[in-house]
Structure 1
Amino acid sequence: MTDAYTRAVNTGLTKTLAKKLGLPRPALLRRYKPGAPLTVGPVLVVSDDASKADADTLARTLLGWDLDVRRDAADDARWGAVVLVLTETARPEDASGAVLAVGPALKRLAPSGRVVTVSRALTPADGPELAAVRSGVDGFLRSVAKELRAGATGNGVVLTDGVGVDHLSVQATLRFFLSAKSAYVDGQMLPVGPADVAGEPDWERPLAGKVAVVTGAARGIGAAIAKTLARDGATVVCVDVPAAGDGLARTANQVRGTALQLDVTAADAGTRIIEHARQRHGRLDIVVHNAGITRDKLLANMDAARWDSVVAVNVASQLRINAQLLEAAERGDVAGLRIVSLASTSGIAGNRGQTNYAFTKAGVVGHTAATGPLLAATGGTANAVAPGFIETDMTKHIPFATRQVARRLSSLLQGGEPVDVAEAIAFLASPAAVGVNGQTLRVCGQNMVGR
């Protein structure tokens, strides 16, 4: 679904013409294909002296993934990725050597390369110097991500609550950011904390044996989520309203799952989801809240029907279903549940004519942060994904000029694809991501609005 402009400036005569005219040239992003290498070249691991032990540990992890790992930034390599480890950096001055070593390596970063920082989160106990370093890494990474070209991205793994770099959730997050699965995730800092991970992860089929429910699965992003979860090994229950029955059946057949016609605003929606999953498949492990609607209007022209319908579908239904899921988890009917909800960059930065939509999507960010700790008591997690401009049937109806501007307002200079959202959800739903909880991960190509 790459847009026509991006295809044109990357192929044939129009590619040559675009170069001569100096036109913006969004890259054709590298996306995941089974069996493809994890990175597009060797991985450089850099650290300051204080963080060397953690860098050594991460280097051994990367070697275990059959990657070509190097520690000398002076190597004449076409880097597939650069990992900058600043976990124990104590003063701003101490970061200088490692940071400046990264600069020349960026000149040799391959197309669709990756830059990943690994650092620790700011805490109330930190002194001024340490707080400056830990906050500084955030600003550094987001700025570096805006300097990268040719489809390369920059993201950060942020360690919380004393978690070590050897924790499986830290490794899983690093692997996600290095991989082609994170093609449209850019400029993001994702906190990872300590949590029990059961067994060694299966990197190829991390959801094998799991049962997942996806609402709004009849088409678009919902269908992409269902297909991606199924690819990763999950049995998928596809949920949508009866009016979308044909599309719902089509998605369910494609993923070899089951279809459940259900209005998510129904008072017993959560109970029916649990009953269907357990009766048909014996368990419930993952719930993806994808169902959502828009009823755009300037607030001056907003009426109760538009406001209330968006609230009912986009946030109130999620809260009601989550309450029923939490009750089931406390009874022991479900264990280790992963809930992933769809937020939006509109809920983070706002958007003209979308006060109702932004209210609900900001509400998703809020209830996710509050629900995460509640689920943690039963081994579960709640996270959210906030897409930016994604190429879907819905965005095709945006006026041409507005659509073009929206596509270019990111560091990657293009819209994302439904599979980009699906890949982030599949990661957050995986067992190894249990250390990521209560977070909202933006899938927006580092959109220029908000954070």
Structure 2
Amino acid sequence: MADRYLHFTGTAPGRFLTGKLGLPQPARLRRWSLKTQSLDGPLLHLTAGDSAVVQELGAVLAATGLTVVRSAEPAPRPAGIVVDATAVATAAGLGDVHAALHPVVRSLAPGGRIVIVGVRPSAEDHHQAAAQQALEGFVRSLGKEIGRGSTVQLLRIEPDATASAESTFRFLLSPRSAYVSGQVVELTGATPDPATDPATDPAAPLAGRTALVTGAARGIGASVASVLARDGAQVICLDIPQTRDELARTADRLGASALPLDITADDAAERIAAAAPGGLDILVHNAGITRDRRLANMPADRWAQVVEVNLDSVLRTTDALLDAGTINRGGRIIATASIAGIAGNTGQTNYAASKAGIIGLVRSLAPRAAADHGVTVNAVAPGFIETKMTAAVPLFIREAGRRMNSLAQGGLPVDVAETTAWFAQPASAAVNGQIVRVCGQSLLGA
């Protein structure tokens, strides 16, 4: 369903009226397209304090293809700003972050990107931990005030992981991350293994990879399959047999293969393995259902259906595919959580429990899957996304869902798909155990 309010505020009368009434004025987001593949302007690289990684970080930023400048003068208006705050280790040191950004933040171009680079808070040094944790509050607050369709993120990089950050910077400093803001992403020290994570063409980073997407007949799943195919993957689209015709149309459009299958079936993992004789490089758990009702009115079958589809089937098939070696070394598992699993939702105790369970799965399995199988495990947590399901939500609730985030609008299925594709890249070996909200920095659970 079209967002008429967003369209109205893009007109001169709409801007005038909403300005007078003090209503939200969302900016139309610049998403990736063939004409809009990168930020339109230079990237300003600033340093807060005496960083030990400034040269290495500069080289990684240059590899993204953006024009990197080290001084705001006489550079043109920046499309992105990266502040290296890895050296901030005291409360006083936070003043260096303010000093770096304060003079230039107003000059950020509309739809711009700000990334603060920090490190993980120390368990041994509480002064450093306080200063680095303070960056999270800073980033979330700046994301809520920056406006004009711009986004702000905190990227924590372990000392030995800077060289592995290129794919993450390519994502965060691009139109692909248009609906991701106020997020904290941590990179591990893992580096791509040339044997399983070969160097790739940035224009087709998934070339030669086989991906399976569940719930792929329509909506977010179809968009995920489309973006993975666009990036070069050979995609298997899986959905329940009842969607066979729609699933076939989606697969045909993408040059993919269709696998009509109920993911809760006892033999689901075996049939997936049979459909991918060469193994899977990317497994996207997107299939999900809702059976909303307040707990006092929720019969056991409605509870069980949601937990079975959204969580239990994910656990079973993931275990079986890992144990069987169907997911190749260097593989990527991406699950779909939800901000409902983070913040909760009235009438969705079953759904929220299942999505919170996905977060638990990722946090526990990620380090072991990497160590034992060479596979990373991450999750996207969508907020209000414009789909047929949200179009059926009552008007006032729908409008609240759209406006209650820093970007004051709903996201699109492609926003979830772009985040999934970043997780899926061979170059994203250092991205593991992450839960990234695709919610425009929703006020729910913020």
When normalised by structure 2's length, the TM-score is 0.95
**Is 2:151 the partner of 1:157?**
no
**Is 2:87 the partner of 1:93?**
no
**Is 2:440 the partner of 1:445?**
yes
SS of alignment partner, residue 324 of structure 2:
helix
**Is 2:275 the partner of 1:293?**
no
Q: In structure 2, how many angstroms separate the alpha carbons of the residues matched to 1:388 and 1:333? A: 29
The equivalent of 2:401 in structure 1 is: 406
Q: In structure 2, how many angstroms separate the alpha carbons of the residues matched to 1:384 and 1:64? A: 26
**Is 2:373 the partner of 1:378?**
yes
Q: In structure 1, how many angstroms separate the alpha carbons of the residues matched to 2:401 and 2:43? A: 33
**Alpha-carbon distance, 1:333 to partner:** 6.8
Q: In structure 2, how many angstroms separate the alpha carbons of the residues matched to 1:56 and 1:287? A: 36
**Alpha-carbon distance, 1:20 to partner:** 4.5
The equivalent of 2:319 in structure 1 is: 323
Render the CA deviation track for 1:365-410: whole Å, top value 9, x for unaligned.
0011112122212211111100000000000010000000111110
Checking the alignment, whether the CA contact within 8 Å between 1:27 and 1:151 is kept in structure 2 is yes
**Is 2:24 the partner of 1:30?**
no
Render the CA deviation track for 1:251-277: whole Å, top value 9, x for unaligned.
100110100010000112112111111
**Alpha-carbon distance, 1:132 to partner:** 1.1
**Is 2:113 the partner of 1:114?**
yes
**Is 2:345 the partner of 1:351?**
yes
Q: Which amino acid aligns with 2:153?
A: N
**Is 2:299 the partner of 1:276?**
no
Query: CA 1:317–1:383 in 2, change beyond 3 Å: closer, same or farther?
Result: same
**Alpha-carbon distance, 1:164 to partner:** 3.5
SS of alignment partner, residue 249 of structure 1:
helix
Render the CA deviation track for 1:308-366: whole Å, top value 9, x for unaligned.
0001100000000011111122xx77322211000000000001110000000000000
Query: CA 1:383–1:163 in 2, change beyond 3 Å: closer, same or farther?
Result: same
Q: In structure 2, how many angstroms separate the alpha carbons of the residues matched to 1:256 and 1:370? A: 35
SS of alignment partner, residue 441 of structure 1:
strand
Checking the alignment, whether the CA contact within 8 Å between 1:40 and 1:112 is kept in structure 2 is no
**Alpha-carbon distance, 1:66 to partner:** 3.5
The equivalent of 1:128 in structure 2 is: 126
**Alpha-carbon distance, 1:77 to partner:** 2.9
Checking the alignment, whether the CA contact within 8 Å between 1:381 and 1:436 is kept in structure 2 is yes
SS of alignment partner, residue 115 of structure 1:
strand
More moved, 349-358 vs 191-200: 191-200
The equivalent of 1:259 in structure 2 is: 258
Query: CA 1:257–1:37 in 2, change beyond 3 Å: closer, same or farther?
Result: closer
SS of alignment partner, residue 223 of structure 1:
helix
SS of alignment partner, residue 334 of structure 1:
strand
Q: Which amino acid aligns with 2:296?
A: A
Structure 1, unaligned runs of 5 or more: none
Q: CA RMSD in A?
A: 1.6
Q: In structure 2, how many angstroms separate the alpha carbons of the residues matched to 1:439 and 1:83? A: 21
Q: In structure 2, how many angstroms separate the alpha carbons of the residues matched to 1:253 and 1:312? A: 29
Q: In structure 2, how many angstroms separate the alpha carbons of the residues matched to 1:34 and 1:193? A: 32
Q: Aligned ranges for residues 9-408 of structure 1 at < 5 Å?
A: 9-34=9-34, 36-51=36-51, 53-75=52-74, 77-125=76-124, 127-160=125-158, 162-165=159-162, 167-168=163-164, 170-197=165-192, 198=194, 199-278=198-277, 282-329=278-325, 334-376=328-370, 377-408=372-403
Checking the alignment, whether the CA contact within 8 Å between 1:45 and 1:55 is kept in structure 2 is no
Number of equivalences: 441
SS of alignment partner, residue 118 of structure 1:
strand
**Alpha-carbon distance, 1:74 to partner:** 4.5
Q: In structure 2, how many angstroms separate the alpha carbons of the residues matched to 1:35 and 1:206? A: 19
Checking the alignment, whether the CA contact within 8 Å between 2:282 and 2:331 is kept in structure 1 is yes
Q: Which amino acid aligns with 1:295?
A: R
Q: Which amino acid aligns with 2:201?
A: D
Q: In structure 2, how many angstroms separate the alpha carbons of the residues matched to 1:163 and 1:58? A: 11
SS of alignment partner, residue 421 of structure 1:
helix
**Is 2:417 the partner of 1:418?**
no
Q: Which amino acid aligns with 2:166?
A: Q
When normalised by structure 1's length, the TM-score is 0.94
Query: CA 1:144–1:75 in 2, change beyond 3 Å: closer, same or farther?
Result: farther
Q: In structure 2, how many angstroms separate the alpha carbons of the residues matched to 1:322 and 1:37? A: 34
Q: In structure 1, how many angstroms separate the alpha carbons of the residues matched to 2:435 and 2:70? A: 32
